[in-house]
Structure 1
Amino acid sequence: HGRGGLGGDEARAVACWDRDLDALEGELRRARAAVRDVELPSALSASQLLRLAADEQGFVRDLARPMPRPPQPAARQGTRFHAWVESRFDELPLPFLDVLDPVTDLPGAGSDQEIADEADLESLKAAFERSPYADRPPHRMEAPVQLTLAGRVVRGRIDAVYRNEDGSYEIVDWKTGRTTEADPLQLAVYRVAWAEATNTPLDRVSAAFLHVRSGRVIRPRNLPDRARLERILQGESDPDGDHQADG
């Protein structure tokens, strides 16, 4: 529409709006260009892999324009919980430190962010002591693993690995949040990494989430193997899907 009928103040306001729209459009174009130009890192933590699979555009935007993260007291409490569980079985041998590179990722795919305070931490300890794993000595704890998928190195740390009487393994990841939602891709990565690091057939490595607060053990069915994980990392959908099952 023309501006012939506008008064001076109105014309100036419309011109100001036009400048704001031009600025917003320019910012959007620059943001999109930055996202297109970002290269994925050659090494990913397990938590980064999960974010990439769940929200590729959001992950790439964060790489293009990283935001500072405030300190997370709950993350420190989560690390203390892991250390407490490890102390229950402190005679275990050191895990694979001579085989794998050091891992900087926190235990699991990311620290649980829902341990509120010291009292909540104590209640989690009590809940773990009621769980099926309370008195079962792990074969390894806080085991660092790495896996090359589609040309990228994925690193993580397994909370606990149990060895069964028949020589097979069970990988367990402890979840201390208040929900029973967890991404099976995390277990899939750990399962393939452990199988390959120990030269164990993949069908002899199972995996489960222990939701500590409820004591619920969930064993996802149909976990992706190496080939399916690589397709997922390359952006393809996973038609087989994953279905969770209580164990």
Structure 2
Amino acid sequence: APAPEAEETAPEDQRQVASWDRDLTALLGELERSRRTARDVPLPAALSATQLLRLAADPDGFAHELARPMPRPPQPAARRGTRFHAWVQSRIEPLLLVEPGALPGADDDGIEDEQDLERLKEAFLRTPYARRKPHRVEVPFQLVLAGRVVRGRIDAVYREDDALSESGGASRYEVVDWKTHREETADPLQLAVYRLAWAEHAGVDPEQVTASFLYVRSGRIVRPAGLPDRKELERLLIGNSDY
């Protein structure tokens, strides 16, 4: 049997169907955009050392943080971390006045309460660094890598060869970062940045600078081998300049 002829659609109905089509197209487009897994997020021209570590450890997570920054609530442990760093510094420079927030590298140090802070002070006094006089403490730096500025602060720098210096030999240094977390899992990339920053500040070859983590709770000293050099650090930034 022949197919029945289609009924002619009234102009008003045609306009209604066309509006439905436009709405459907818009909704489908919005759904597609919401499901996109890739978005270009430009890397800032200036980074903190902590942000650089975050970029290296989790580029996607860092990109999400840049795209949708979330405010961080005040953390009592962060204030106690600042007080620990200030206490170490005051033992070396008793007359130094440390303002709140002046030690940006001392935040979120996993210090639970006032008793825990006192335990950390006692633990530090049992380490070799409590008996050594540092060359510099709480050293701020700005390091230019691949056209971007990386800012940070080195907890302490020790000069290792006073005897060599007196005889005209090359100076050697040790940069040290205090770690007060219970987990001893610090990223050696942090020390790579600190080592390069101090070497360029002091005008010495990075090979003349060693770098150490002091895990204050246990007293363990870790000196990672094979730290990345300037080229490797710049490659990290260039590879993640727009992601």
Aligned 8 A contact 1:112 1:176 in 2: no
Give the alignment partner of residue 164 of structure 1, picking from 151, 160, 166: 160
- Tell me the residue number matched to 1:80: 83
- Tell me the residue number matched to 2:4: none
1:68-95 CA distance string (max 9 Å, x none): 21111100000000000000000699xx
- Indicate whether 1:151 and 2:155 are aligned: no
- Tell me the residue number matched to 2:105: 107
Shift of 1:146: 1.3
Give the alignment partner of residue 235 of structure 1, picking from 236, 239, 242: 239
Q: Give the number of equivalent residue pairs.
A: 204
Local SS of the residue matching 2:132: coil
Unaligned runs of 5+ in 1: 1-21, 94-102, 237-247
- Tell me the residue number matched to 1:4: none
The one-letter amino acid paired with 2:224 is P
The one-letter amino acid paired with 1:183 is D
Structure with bigger gyration radius: 2
The one-letter amino acid paired with 1:89 is I
In structure 1, how many angstroms separate the alpha carbons of the residues matched to 2:144 and 2:64? 24
Give the alignment partner of residue 119 of structure 2, picking from 113, 118, 123: 123
Shift of 1:38: 2.3
Which structure has the highest helix share of the two? 2
The one-letter amino acid paired with 2:91 is R
Shift of 1:234: 2.4
Higher relative contact order (CA closer than 8 Å, sequence separation 6+): 2
1:164-207 CA distance string (max 9 Å, x none): 12321000000000011000110000100110111111111000
In structure 2, how many angstroms separate the alpha carbons of the residues matched to 1:86 and 1:116? 21
The one-letter amino acid paired with 2:69 is P
Give the alignment partner of residue 206 of structure 2, picking from 202, 208, 211: 202
- Tell me the residue number matched to 1:239: none
TM-score under structure 2 normalisation?
0.77
In structure 1, how many angstroms separate the alpha carbons of the residues matched to 2:79 and 2:29? 41
Q: 1:23 to 1:212 in 2, by over 3 A?
A: farther
In structure 1, how many angstroms separate the alpha carbons of the residues matched to 2:28 and 2:80? 41
- Indicate whether 1:63 and 2:59 are aligned: no
Local SS of the residue matching 1:231: helix
- Indicate whether 1:135 and 2:131 are aligned: yes
In structure 2, how many angstroms separate the alpha carbons of the residues matched to 1:24 and 1:134? 64
The percentage of aligned residue pairs carrying the same residue is 63
- Indicate whether 1:44 and 2:75 are aligned: no
1:138-177 CA distance string (max 9 Å, x none): 1000000111111111010000000012321000000000
- Tell me the residue number matched to 2:216: 212
Shift of 1:112: 3.5
Unaligned runs of 5+ in 2: 1-25, 165-170
